[in-house]
Amino acid sequence: MAILHPFKAWRPTQDTIYEIACVPYDVIDTEEARVLAEGKPNSFLHVIRPEIDLEDNTDVHADSVYEQGRINLEKILSSGLMTQESKASIYVYRLIMDGREQTGIFSCISVDDYDSNVILKHELTRPDKEDDRTRHILTQSAHAEPVMLTYKDHENVNSIVSATMLGKPMFDFMADDGIKHTLWKISDSSELVDFFAEISHLYVADGHHRCKSASRVAESIKMNGISKDSNEFEFFPAVLFPMSCMKILAYNRVIKHVSEDFLNELNLTCSLADYSDAQPRKAGDFSVFYKGEWKTYSLPKTLGTAVADQLDVSRLSEFVLQPILGIHDQRTDKRISFVGGIRGTSELERLVISTKADVAFSMFATSIQELMDVSDAGELMPPKSTWFEPKLRSGLLVHTF
């Protein structure tokens, strides 16, 4: 059974929602955050990317960064720019991007569900990123951003969501990236909590590191005997979307330090497709940008028998990254970088042309069914196998403990 936990959210006022809400921390780097936050002292970027308020050369893992995040959050919560709900609630959150709607439930979920695999994962987490998010959460005594989960469609949940959306929204605004965000409060969430108890599993879509960090925070508080007024630290915020409304984009790869024999070796391993596009047209195909030209190839059948072995990203690793390029651990190899599909193939071209990479791989997107199948089998995908759009806005509902 999946546990939904209503919470007393901190939220912007109607007058401050547009200046506070921002993109999530993990879709931008520090310099991009500085640009986006310029002239916006109340942007939530000052909480989730607090290094932008320190010297340019500050190490993002320095003690001063975590302390600055705490100071910034306390300032914004005590300034009247945000207010805390008097009653623990659950919300409906709708995003509209390019005319496509994606609507889910904004609630807290249980660390115990994560630890006991009611919430299923599909990727390994990196210890350094876990450490970073864990310190942010512990220092701020807050989960500043929600994770994104998905679940198999449930008719009664859909009915509650539809009925809630007939009412007046709390927020309804267009962000500067053209994505529309609308939030409704559910008047009585008890029935919804009961219906989610009928759902056997939730699936992590986006936010593996924040999920793991929430678990580590709860463990740390218990082990170190840290005094808290409640058990809120055992829950963390998430937006849960039914699988039918989820969209996954490709997660592409760029590689540095490629030998001159690369293309010859690739031609011996993979067959050329009957077309050459920057974006592959079907599963099993991938496109390569090398020396200023796009070519599309078809991947061989995998030798593996696991569910995850059948994925395009796994087969790329099996037949190209490992034997040809010598990349055996995508989590740690510094030669490989990952580019979300939302940036388009023009970004892959730019990276190669600017010599920041030697070759780029444009992938066909992993499907939501593949994600579910791998998770249900208790297996893991290669790093950066899925890119979800649209992204959740940060600073809408904040969970403190």
pLDDT digits (tens, 9 = 90+) for 376-400: 999 999 989 999 999 999 999 999 9
pLDDT on residue 264: 96
Q: Mean pLDDT of all residues in the chain?
A: 96
pLDDT on residue 169: 97
pLDDT on residue 331: 85
Percentage of residues of the chain with pLDDT beyond 70: 100
pLDDT on residue 395: 97
pLDDT per residue as tens digits for the range 96-129? 999 999 999 999 999 999 999 999 999 888 889 9
Q: Which residue has the higher pLDDT, 1 or 233?
A: 233
Predicted confidence band of residue 225 (pLDDT cuts 50, 70, 90)? confident
pLDDT on residue 278: 97
pLDDT on residue 156: 97
Question: What are the chain's domains?
Answer: 4-247+390-400 (no CATH), 251-364 (3.30.1760)
Predicted confidence band of residue 2 (pLDDT cuts 50, 70, 90)? very high
pLDDT on residue 228: 85
Q: What is the mean pLDDT of residues 352-375?
A: 96
Is the pLDDT confidence value at 229 over 90? no
Q: What is the mean pLDDT of residues 339-350?
A: 95
pLDDT on residue 306: 97
For the chain, the three-class secondary structure string (H helix, E strand, C coil) is CCCEECECCEEECCCCHHHHCECCHHHCCHHHHHHHHCCCCCCCHHHHCHHHHCCCCCCCCCHHHHHHHHHHHHHHHHCCCEEECCCCECEEEEEEECCEEEEEEEEEEEHHHHHCCCEECCCCCCHHHHHHHHHHHHHHCEECCCEEEEECCCHHHHHHHHHHCCCCCCEEEECCCCCEEEEEECCCCHHHHHHHCCCCCEEEEECHHHHHHHHHHHHHHHHCCCCCCCCHHHEEEEEEEEHHHCCEECEEEEECCCCCCHHHHHHHHCEECCCCCCCCCCCCEEEEEECCEEEEEECCCCCCCCCHHHCHHHHHHHHHHCCCCCCCCCCCCCCEEEEEHHHHHHHHHHHHHCCCCCEEEEECCCCHHHHHHHHHCCCCCCCCCCEECCCCCECCCEEEC
pLDDT per residue as tens digits for the range 58-105? 999 999 999 999 999 999 999 999 999 999 999 999 999 999 999 999
pLDDT per residue as tens digits for the range 292-317? 999 999 999 998 999 999 999 999 99
pLDDT on residue 226: 86
Is the pLDDT confidence value at 39 over 90? yes
pLDDT per residue as tens digits for the range 164-207? 999 999 999 999 999 999 999 999 999 999 999 999 999 999 99
Q: What is the mean pLDDT of residues 260-280?
A: 96
Percentage of residues of the chain with pLDDT beyond 90: 93
